[in-house]
Amino acid sequence: MASAATTLLKSSFLPKKAEWGSKHQLVAAHPRPATVVVSMVARASAYADELVQTAKTIASPGRGILAMDESNATCGKRLDSIGLENTEANRQAYRTLLVSAPGLGQYISGAILFEETLYQSTVDGKKIVDVLSEQGIVPGIKVDKGLVPLAGSNNESWCQGLDGLASREAAYYQAGARFAKWRTVVSIPNGPSQLAVKEAAWGLARYAAISQENGLVPIVEPEILLDGEHGIERTFEVAQKVWAETFFYMAENSVMFEGILLKPSMVTPGAECEEKATPEQVAEYTLRLLRTRIPPAVPGIMFLSGGQSEVEATQNLNAMNQSPNPWHVSFSYARALQNTCLKTWGGRPENVKAAQDALLLRAKANSLAQLGKYTGDGEAAAAKEGMFVKNYSY
Ligand SMILES: *[C@@H]1O[C@H](CO)[C@@H](O)[C@H](O)[C@H]1NC(C)=O
Ligand SMILES: *[C@@H]1O[C@H](CO)[C@@H](O)[C@H](O)[C@H]1NC(C)=O
């Protein structure tokens, strides 16, 4: 059964196939040297217009993404940290608390879900995707199958999940999802080897193309891990390489850049580097990276927070929005939105409201940071504690 929002999305953004066809004829007719043998004619996704619209909605001013796609196991770790058992009921109670925070949609435009949550109901029996849609929040879905060792590399990883992806995504679309997430990682201390960078970029490009064919806006996330003693220059250099490869392969796979979102790491020194960087330095390096690697056709750049503290993640985002950018520069935070909320809740029904207030406080702070207007007034000391974990996984 289609939710109200599903129906709305379908009827208001019907793909205009004729228009796309004619644009492609123009491209194909453009004169080019006879030696070029590659075909420029790529079939546009039947969902082209809808993808552009979905990406624009998510990248709307003052809003960003709530990443709540912790797998059963990772959600279990979060629950364990507050002394709760990892049962489906406890996961449901926590996710109900998150999605039903009153007014969340003012600050949050998209929520990334784990498969369990896409089909899950709240404790009151409402579909979680419907609660999100009522809040004006677009439901998204994590579609990768996680990291495994990359044979022939220096103990590096690759991300699984391409097998069967098209049919899984078609089902997710039917269930109400409108965007997808695929997280792969690149490790600086382990190389990164040319092989690992190429594999990460190719996997992301294939995933992005398949997602667009199935109506989901792909979030492209090559996370450059914080692990290591390297300085900020080294992170910058690796990030340049990773994004160059990713865009090369996305172009090769005919990914439509107007219908994707990116989830990059900010350019920071390694977690074990002696020299720390200020939010202004992080913003300077990160914006330099984006300007030299990311085409303006990309509607939104939704940063991940990695191991940054809640406040640090907000400050860094704010610093990047002090002057106009060609893209919407925003957030896709998990721990940096949820940490205080989870601790405040502690699994007790009487704390639900206070926990939702804690979530709204962080969401609002990041909304202000997206607009470049965050001042840092009234931040608690606990929100300033770092959350770096070695080899972090979802
Ligand atoms: C997560 O838990 C649900 C319910 O207990 C189960 O149906 C599902 O298969 C689990 N998913 C994974 C990936 O373990
Ligand atoms: C490979 O990586 C894992 C964690 O990702 C680590 O535990 C292990 O020690 C590493 N092995 C080598 C040989 O570096």
Residue 45: predicted pLDDT: 79
Residue of the CA atom closest to atom 2 of ligand 2? 155
pLDDT at 11 over 50: no
Ordered structural domains, the chain, with CATH: 4-13+50-371 (3.20.20.70)
Ligand 1 and 72: CB distance under 6 A: yes
pLDDT at 392 over 90: no
- Catalytic, 373? Answer no
pTM of the model: 0.86
Ligand 1 and 88: CB distance under 6 A: yes
Mean pLDDT rounded to a whole number for the chain:
90
Number of neighbouring beta carbons within 10 Å of residue 248: 14
How much is the average pLDDT of 275-289? 94
Residue of the CA atom closest to atom 1 of ligand 1? 72
Q: Which residues line ligand 2 (CB under 6 A)?
A: 155, 391
Residue of the CA atom closest to atom 4 of ligand 2? 391
For ligand 1, the distance from its centroid to the CA atom of residue 392, given in whole angstroms, is: 21
Helix boundaries (H) for 70-154: 72-81, 88-99, 115-118, 128-134
| Cα atoms in the Cβ-side hemisphere of radius 13 Å centred on 264 | 32
Tell which residue, 135, 102, 169, 170, has the closest CA to residue 4.
135
Residue 16: predicted pLDDT: 44
- Catalytic, 263? Answer yes
- pLDDT tens for 32-78 read 555 555 555 556 678 999 999 999 999 999 999 999 999 999 999 99
329 CB-near residues (< 8 Å, 6+ apart):
290, 300, 301, 303, 317, 320, 321, 370
Q: Spot the catalytic one: 70, 213, 221, 245.
A: 221
How much is the average pLDDT of 13-31? 44
Distance of CA 140 to the CA centre of its chain: 9
How far apart, in whole angstroms, are the C-alpha atoms of residue 103 and residue 89? 24
Residue 64 per-residue DSSP state:
E
Tell which residue, 144, 184, 185, has the closest CA to residue 168.
144
Nearest ligand atom owner, CA of 156: 2
How much is the average pLDDT of 166-186? 98
